[in-house]
Amino acid sequence: MLHIRDMALPVRIASSALADDGAITTAGDFHQWFSQCVEKDESQVTRIPFSELSGWRFEEQTGNLVHHTGKFFSVRGLQVRTENRPVTEWSQPIINQPEIGILGILVKEFDGILHCLMQSKMEPGNCNRVQLSPTVQATRSNYTGVHRGSAVPYLDYFLDAEPRHVLADVLQSEQGSWFYRKRNRNIIVEATGDVEVLDGFCWLSVGQLHDLLTVDDLINMDARTVLSCLPFSGVGLCAIFPFDAEPLRSGLIRSISEDQGTLHTSSQIRSWITDSRVREDVETKLVDLTGVEGWHRSEDRISHETGTFFDVMAVDVQAGNREVLSWTQPMIESRNLGVVAFLIKRIRGVVHALVNARVEPGYLDVVELAPTVQCTPENYTHLPPEARPPLLDEVLSAPPDLIHFDTVLSEEGGRFFHTRNRYVIVEVPPDRDIEAPNDFRWMTLHQLAGLMQHSHYVNIQARSLITCLHSLLREPKRAAG
Amino acid sequence: MLHIRDMALPVRIASSALADDGAITTAGDFHQWFSQCVEKDESQVTRIPFSELSGWRFEEQTGNLVHHTGKFFSVRGLQVRTENRPVTEWSQPIINQPEIGILGILVKEFDGILHCLMQSKMEPGNCNRVQLSPTVQATRSNYTGVHRGSAVPYLDYFLDAEPRHVLADVLQSEQGSWFYRKRNRNIIVEATGDVEVLDGFCWLSVGQLHDLLTVDDLINMDARTVLSCLPFSGVGLCAIFPFDAEPLRSGLIRSISEDQGTLHTSSQIRSWITDSRVREDVETKLVDLTGVEGWHRSEDRISHETGTFFDVMAVDVQAGNREVLSWTQPMIESRNLGVVAFLIKRIRGVVHALVNARVEPGYLDVVELAPTVQCTPENYTHLPPEARPPLLDEVLSAPPDLIHFDTVLSEEGGRFFHTRNRYVIVEVPPDRDIEAPNDFRWMTLHQLAGLMQHSHYVNIQARSLITCLHSLLREPKRAAG
């Protein structure tokens, strides 16, 4: 049964997205609070050689990098055989973390506006140490107490949620190039009673979060993926937006709220995804880290012989306000800035994003929908020019007035060290044709939202960019010139 | 964009479901044609010891049963560790068949009624040799010519389908107790031009197929799963059904066609599935067949020490009308008849089926929705009484007037030898409360159809039963007494 509350939900979310000054936290309050959080952070993160890892070791026979409890995660090898790719066979280190963590945002209405309880959280991989994260961001090891830390605050809101207070609840994948079949539970729960605001937490409207998305390295990856699952789409959304919005914004509103005006039907999109999964003949196999070819282990890093892709390295963390006070851990470090971009286009007045059916070896189901461009340009320098990702140059050479979003954001600071991407949204003028290969399709945000109710469809980078696209709802973009 | 053709599709399918005498094949024609197919079949299937397998062998080191090409499938071991189950740790033989096959039904309109092109097909595991199968039922090895057979007829209709002629196209799982992460592409394509009817093929309306479902061992498993993917659900369906249908039938029509009247919202159902996947802590690992404990290999079978579950055995096949004329192969044999049943109930006038979030070790994503009961009762004889599946006795003791469907149907005859289940649909009177554990939920057919547009949600047994439920649309069930 469709409850009245369900029907109103997209409207409530859209109202929160339009509230760029919160009902209980002003922009000024936020900046003061966040500056204090940054000041209070006394963490020290130091690169260390592997030999200084404590509790972690390279297993003698396999070479795998493991924790002595067998919990958390391990760094293993992955052997990949594929077709239709520039490189058809390779092996690589990969993070194996079979347990499913929770990324949860608690929301609550204040003065008729939904607010998200956000946390200022130190993560060792963050280049600026403290970023804004969901209410709860916990691995199963965290919350079952494997590392003997303190209890995870607010966790019970998510574990014991009343079904009718759950606004979103779906397992979503993470980076398929670095993780083997990792996924986290993305969950949003509405609180009805009083909620105590603990030190390090703050209520912000969706509009405020969208504003803060334009600040480099502030809204962390986990917050972006959970926010992308907010059920924006639905009936009645158009009613609260001005009808005279400029074309891009009104095209975006239609793209989010309507089931109409799509270039391909949703059934055609699903058939295309099925076809991609059948055609892409990818075999992957977890192997021992010693069996990985082309990668070399030195005292303090495991790197590819070309110096590209990523490194496995280790850090020592001294932290005052984390569940445990100090620890060491391995991390993944990507040396170069990546580019993650959507080309968008108004088609019959409705904004469509160009998505790519992308193979990453760590995906559970072969292919997920990725942004138009998702790459680290430097990784292609040792490959022939025809291996260069399609449409990368379209993004890099876009004129400024067609770039609607352009912020450098960090990947998860718990596993990735100083690993950042430039997130970009570039508009293609309606009269301009883009030649895209068969593994690309123009889709509306409503179609993407439909798929994001399920697992294994929309990858983590695309989900981040969808949150960025939602952020364009908040104010008209100045016209060209 | 929702095309007029899409909106009309559920109505066209429902019209075909109401046509119990086809426009081009009468019931009499069918029986004559099918009898001839059975007569013409000269196949001989003989149990053989493993030593007489040709092209297949037990690998020396691993004990795995493999084909010399490395293609088709292999029989390996699976190690399973789980919680919340009567047995928390076991290993078992399992079929590993990583390639994705095609199960396709070609449909075409004759005199305004959609017809399905069905094939009379001999499969070595069928107890009665010949059953009715989809237009195309081919493994990738089949259609890429690994076994040097003749080309698969009608295959190109599916490989080169125009997107707008594809009525369904989704990867669906198969038995998670016997297959490791196997899935097939279930695809339905509408032909527009003339279609030559080859020997062994026949056009039947959906209503005719539903009629034939009540014949034991006639509509094969592959036909049932593809038929279950027919997009019945949609607007306008009620229009073509009589408003004065008796309560069960009208409750079924509402269950299929409407998004309303559900006990739980679809969002709540998805959240419950997410929760099940997180809570069920299942670890599986492919291992060598020699590493499987409690199973013993004799000359002609691999069986469990208790004599229950299933056997791995081998057959010699001499066939006149298959792609290759004779071959040998391993198969799975289940010795006892299984029970696969839905309890259904009219809730506020809308039929709901009681589904079970079920763990099977071969599933790609931990849990899939299964029928209320799915078991081989004999397998529980060596376990304590509390391990007996919930609600089994409710099904077995149902009075005849509440049993709306009851037919013995075969599992896939290409892999399973004489392996059959009794498919049952039992109604629970509206005023009767059923106590079901938390891994059960009442769902409408519309909700199940929504999930079946995606992979890894509804298991093969439940999909078979959904086709059986659809078959109840065709005529009023006689009232009790």
3-state secondary structure chain A: CCCHHHHHHHHHHHHHHHCCCCCCCCHHHHHHHHHHHHHHCCCEEEEECHHHCCCEEECCCCCCEEECCCCCCEEEEEEEECCCCCCCEEEEEEEECCCCEEEEEEEEEECCEEEEEEEEEECCCCCCCEEEECCEEECHHHHCCCCCCCCCCCHHHHHCCCHHHEEEEEEEECCCCCEECCEEEEEEEECCCCCCCCCCEEEEEHHHHHHHCCCCCCECHHHHHHHHCCCCCCCCHHHHCCCCCCHHHHHHHHHHHCCCCCCCCHHHHHHHHHHHHHHCCCEEEEECHHHCCCEEECCCCEEECCCCCCEEEEEEEECCCCCCCEEEEEEEECCCCEEEEEEEEEECCEEEEEEEEEECCCCCCCEEEECCEEECHHHHCCCCHHHCCCCHHHHHCCCHHHEEEEEEEECCCCCEECCEEEEEEEEECCCCCCCCCCCEEEECHHHHHHHHCCCCCECHHHHHHHHHHHHCCCCCCCCCC
User: Which chain A residue lies closest to B269 (C-alpha atoms)?
Assistant: A163
Query: Does the CB of A2 have a partner CB in chain B at under 8 Å?
Result: yes
Smallest Cα distance from A91 to chain B, Å: 20
Contact B270 A454 (CB under 8 A): yes
| Interface probe, candidates A4, A271, A286, A444, chain B, greatest B C-beta count within 10 A | A271
Query: Does the CB of B5 have a partner CB in chain A at under 8 Å?
Result: no
Determine the pLDDT at residue B54: 96
Contact B267 A6 (CB under 8 A): yes
Determine the pLDDT at residue A103: 98
Contact A171 B270 (CB under 8 A): no
Statement: residue A161 has pLDDT above 70: yes
Smallest Cα distance from A243 to chain B, Å: 22
Quick: pLDDT tens for A206-259: 999 999 999 999 999 999 999 999 998 765 666 777 666 788 999 999 999 888
Contact B271 A98 (CB under 8 A): no
Cβ neighbours of A261 in B, within 8 Å: 1
Smallest Cα distance from A202 to chain B, Å: 26
Which of A3, A166, A277 faces B271 most closely, judged by CB atoms? A166
Query: Does the CB of A144 have a partner CB in chain B at under 8 Å?
Result: no
Which of B163, B270, B456 faces A271 most closely, judged by CB atoms? B163
Cβ neighbours of A180 in B, within 8 Å: none
Contact B265 A1 (CB under 8 A): yes
Lowest pLDDT segment from A287-301, A331-345, B228-242, B453-467: B228-242
Determine the pLDDT at residue B1: 37
Cβ neighbours of B260 in A, within 8 Å: 1-2
Contact B274 A169 (CB under 8 A): yes
Query: Does the CB of B6 have a partner CB in chain A at under 8 Å?
Result: yes
Cβ A311 vs Cβ A92: under 8 Å: no
Cβ neighbours of B454 in A, within 8 Å: 270, 454
pLDDT per residue of chain B (481 residues) written in tens, 0 to 9: 344 445 588 889 998 998 988 789 999 999 999 999 999 999 999 999 999 999 999 999 999 999 999 888 999 999 999 876 777 899 999 999 988 999 999 999 999 999 999 999 999 999 999 999 999 999 887 777 554 445 899 999 999 899 999 999 999 999 999 999 999 999 999 999 999 999 999 999 999 999 999 999 999 999 999 999 999 876 666 677 766 678 899 999 999 988 889 999 999 999 999 999 998 878 999 999 999 999 999 999 999 998 888 999 999 999 876 556 899 999 999 989 999 999 999 999 999 999 999 999 999 999 999 999 999 998 887 778 888 899 999 999 999 999 999 999 999 999 999 999 999 999 999 889 998 899 999 999 999 999 999 999 999 999 999 999 999 998 654 444 3
- The CA distances from residue B378 to B381, B416, B417, in Å, are 6, 18, 18
Cβ neighbours of A164 in B, within 8 Å: 268
Contact B271 A3 (CB under 8 A): no
Statement: residue A477 has pLDDT above 60: no
Q: Number of Cβ pairs closer than 8 Å across A and B? A: 91
Stated length of chain B: 481
Determine the pLDDT at residue A142: 74
**Domain at A4-43+98-281+335-471: CATH code:** 3.90.79.40
| Interface probe, candidates B9, B272, B274, chain A, greatest A C-beta count within 10 A | B274
Cβ neighbours of B3 in A, within 8 Å: 265
Lowest pLDDT segment from A87-91, A347-351, B27-31: A87-91
Contact A98 B163 (CB under 8 A): no
Q: Tell me how far apart the terminal alpha carbons of chain B are, to the nearest angstrom.
A: 50
Lowest pLDDT segment from A291-295, A305-309, B400-404: A305-309
Contact A169 B270 (CB under 8 A): yes
Cβ neighbours of A265 in B, within 8 Å: 1-3, 6
pTM: 0.94
Cβ B149 vs Cβ B143: under 8 Å: no
Smallest Cα distance from A449 to chain B, Å: 13
Q: What residue spans define the domains of chain A?
A: 4-43+98-281+335-471
